[in-house]
Amino acid sequence: MHVPDGFIDAPVSLGTGAVAAASVAVCLRGARRELSDAQGTDRTAPLAGLVAAFVFAVQMLNFPVAAGTSGHLLGGALAAILVGPYTGVLCISVVLLMQGVLFADGGLTALGVNITDMAVVTTVVAYAVFRLLVKVLPRRRRAVPAAAFAAALVSVPAAACAFTLIYALGGTTDVPLGQVFTAMVGVHVLIGIGEAVITALTVSAVMAVRPDLVHGARGLARPLELRTADGQVTTATPATAPAPAATPRRSVRPLLAGGLAAAVVLAGFVSYYASTSPDGLEKVAHDKGIDRTTKEHAAKDSPLADYQVKDVSDSRLSGGLAGVIGVGATLAAGTGVFLVVRRRDRAADRATDRSPDPAGTA
């Protein structure tokens, strides 16, 4: 659903750019709390960088959803559930920035549109649905993948609705709004099913090995079962359950290594087999004539434009190398941003601790 240059006029593009900038500023502050785990360490910052790289990789895997149409992961729901909504918005924003600057995917003048639509709207809607479902479902960790599925399913049509609203405010072609809305929502409901499956499977995989690192699972504990002398099994209540023993800190490196390996394999090898059909927005834009005003991308001559390495003749090798480079660049950019955010928070905490107590100096 990457909006290219020319679909939306300059005033609305500037307006969505302001919305995107304000949202990122708010999320930079909110992410400080999310980027600290229960022990107050920095383990979540590298995980957030990995989430951004993984979303980049999976977005290269277009899957068919209808005749002549494909879809791909947006990633807002996945990022929000794994690392939190504020950090999730930043993850998707980093991905969109890398795609626009390095790969000429998504217009540069439309970057604000894309961040508002694909990062802010999907993450906010998905996390709101997720938290609502977690409250009404049994408070067990196994409820997290189910809630993630539903949240991701809803987030994609929500993004389609948001694009329709933005197009209504600043579309550069004269296409009936009802036609745009019907076509966009219809195809993105189907894409949402794929998004939901990918999100639920990924969350389940992380929950299986490191549930303590999943932001959406915080506060959800597996029920403690007690076996009596006569062999009966009962579930302990908070009043009867023994206090948990202190557990040693586990290294996050195996998860990071496994996740990075998966991202490299997906972007470097599996992406070759992705559907080449236009995605939902491209298909609707072509069928309805919205793409008549598409402008040439400013980064069209980038060495990595269109996810191909320039001067590498073998398309399979070229695409694979571009994917691996993209994963590395997104991982580096994302991890760098999140480490800086986390360390600024720690510096602020130290400054607060050193400040004199007014009551003590009175």
In a domain, 359, yes or no: no
Alpha-carbon 113 to chain mean position:
16
The CA-based angle 319-325-326, given to 5 degrees, is: 85
pLDDT of residue 248: 57
Model confidence at 306: pLDDT above 60: yes
Express each pLDDT in 52-73 by its tens digit: 999 999 999 999 998 899 999 9
pTM: 0.89
Q: How would residue 113 be classed by pLDDT, with cut points 50, 70 and 90?
A: very high
pLDDT of residue 169: 97
Q: Give the domain CATH number at 105.
A: 1.10.1760.20
In a domain, 104, yes or no: yes
In a domain, 240, yes or no: no
In a domain, 245, yes or no: no
In a domain, 346, yes or no: yes
Express each pLDDT in 240-291 by its tens digit: 445 444 445 678 889 999 999 999 999 999 999 999 999 999 999 999 999 9
pLDDT of residue 40: 47
**CA–CA separation, 1 vs 154, rounded Å?**
15
Express each pLDDT in 1-21 by its tens digit: 999 999 999 999 999 999 999
In a domain, 262, yes or no: yes
Give, in order, the Cα–Cα distances in Å from 330 to each of 58, 141, 276, 280.
13, 30, 23, 24
Q: Which domain holds residue 339?
A: 10-235+255-350
Quote the number of domains for the chain. 1
Q: In this prediction, what percent of the chain has a pLDDT beyond 90? A: 76
In a domain, 259, yes or no: yes
- The number of residues in the chain equals 362
In a domain, 167, yes or no: yes
Report the chain's C-alpha Rg in angstroms.
22
pLDDT of residue 234: 63
